[in-house]
Amino acid sequence: MKDLLRKLRAPFRTRSWQAGSYSVFAAVLVIAMAVVANLAVNALPASVTQRDWTANQLYSLSQGTEQILAALDKDVDVYWLVQEDHENNTMEQVLGKYGEYDRVTVTKVDPVRYPSFAAEYTDQTVEDNSLAVVCGDRSLYIPYSDVWTYSDYETYAYYMEYYQQEYLDVFTGEEKLTAAILSVTSDSQPVMYTLSGHGETGVSEDVLDAVALDNIRTEELSLLTGEAVPEDCGVLAILGPVRDLSSRELEMIETYAENGGQLLVTTAYSDEDMPNFKALLADFGVGLIGGYVMESDSRYYNYGYIDLLLPVMGRHEITSPLMEGEGTAVILPDAQALEDITDETSEAKVTALLTSSETSYVKQGVEGVNSYEKAEGDRTGSFLLAAVSEKETTGARMVIFGSARFMEADFSSMVSGANEDLFLNGLDWLCRQEQSISIRPKTLVGEYLSYTDSTANIIKVALVVVPLLFFAAGLWIFVRRRWR
């Protein structure tokens, strides 16, 4: 019996068996550790385990949204109305980020299985991946067609005609959802009144839609028939007037400002002298030189157009999000020169947002001028192009841009929407909604490349010189080897 046991044990005492058993034990241990590690990682939130490597942080929440969600003092329910297996991946990723906050609950509801549920929040035909945002007895419905949209209608129409499918490249999910959360949880909504009656430039429907997304309501206002600026006015916008304010209008606006009013102003070229309008600006420490600012330095204007300025940004809450983005620029067309006219006795404090270069100059009387080139007598220097003014005692604020056209879609698209962002940032700052400044739509398309004349010349030289250098080097090596 002992001999039998010895024979049975013998194979297990060999070096090969011991080495193999150690290998099996080590493999089992590694697998067990991997399983435990996997379970531990799966228990962590997505913000820890998943990294957003997209260029525009498509799957991440902006700092503004994070601040709003962290400060919520009311519970918000977000219902994701979508059928099984019809979920949009981007929506799923972004909603997961919202669901990580204690006050926000995200619930998926199938609108086909539960049609009466969606009917509580909308009478529209519910699209998959739409949202219903609810807080108490207040709710907002966000259709999917508002979450994904397009940046260029021509491209959209082309895809619809030739491919019978939508070309959607702009994701506004975070912007829409955060605005909806603000709306259902806020006790009040700021109102921006746009002044009329003086040939104002106004704003496009696209900009008005973007303003609405910032939880700001817009109304038109005529003071010619009114008695005062409305009490619910959060911001009074005076956008590119070409005719002067009346003395009565000026008095009403100054009274509004003395009570802590907020002004958003853009200027437009006019042959008419406007003393009352200038007096309003002067009360905030800003002077209007007028004319059009032109650039001599090719680094500060868009390629080929000395009147399309690429101004220098000053550091402020309004410009900081743009300055943090690499290569972000704004374009100012038909820009008028402003100036800081404050002194030691001034109540207002003026801070520059945008300025021109030291070699820029002002062309007065531009209507009918054949050449914008610098001429004798043109005022030269660095000019204020956009600024903010604050009065500490009253709390009044003004944001002023020396261009009434910079919000136009054609110009904003040249700098990937930076112009519109700058305008909205200024509006949010006036409304004391600083947390909303960084919440903007995210596009999937590449950004436009804006470059100056000097940069263009360098590129041209590089495209010629660099290939020639490589050719010369190759020729020299070839000849040298042939003569060896």
Residues 370 and 353 placed together within one structural domain of the fold: yes
Residue 86 belongs to some domain of the structure? yes
Q: Does residue 148 sit in the same domain as residue 197?
A: no
Largest Cα separation within the chain, whole Å, is 122
286/365 same-domain check: yes
CATH classification of the domain holding 316: 3.40.50.880
207 and 142 in a common domain: no
> Are residue 339 and residue 197 in the same domain, yes or no?
yes
Question: Is there a single domain that holds both residue 373 and residue 420?
Answer: yes
What pTM did the predictor assign?
Answer: 0.68
Residue 7 located in a structural domain: no
Which SS3 state, helix, strand or coil, does residue 122 take?
Answer: coil
DSSP alpha helix (H) spans, 369-452: 409-414, 418-430
248 lies in the same domain as 351: yes
H-only helix segments in 163-268: 173-185, 205-213, 247-258
Expressed as residue numbers, the domain containing 279 is 188-453
In this structure, is residue 306 part of a structural domain? yes
Domain count, the chain: 2
pLDDT in tens, the chain (484 residues): 556 555 555 555 566 656 566 666 666 777 877 777 666 655 555 554 454 444 455 557 777 788 888 989 999 999 999 998 888 888 898 899 999 999 999 999 999 888 889 888 888 888 899 999 999 988 888 888 878 776 666 676 777 778 777 777 678 788 789 888 988 888 778 899 999 999 998 788 878 877 876 778 899 999 988 889 999 999 999 999 999 999 999 999 999 999 999 999 999 998 889 999 999 999 999 999 988 999 988 889 987 788 899 999 999 989 987 887 545 789 999 999 999 999 988 999 999 999 999 999 998 866 655 567 887 878 999 999 999 999 999 999 999 999 999 988 888 878 877 888 899 899 989 988 766 655 555 665 544 455 555 666 676 666 777 787 777 777 777 777 777 6
Residues in the chain: 484
**49: in domain:** no
* Strand ordering across the sheet containing 76-81: 104-109, 76-81, 130-135, 138-142
Q: What tokens appear for 86 in the block? A: 């019809």
449: its two tokens = 């490349």
- Directed axis angle between helix 418-430 and helix 205-213, to 10°? 50
Comparing CA positions, the residue from 328, 481, 452, 428 lying closest to residue 64 is 428
Q: Are 154 and 225 part of one and the same domain?
A: no
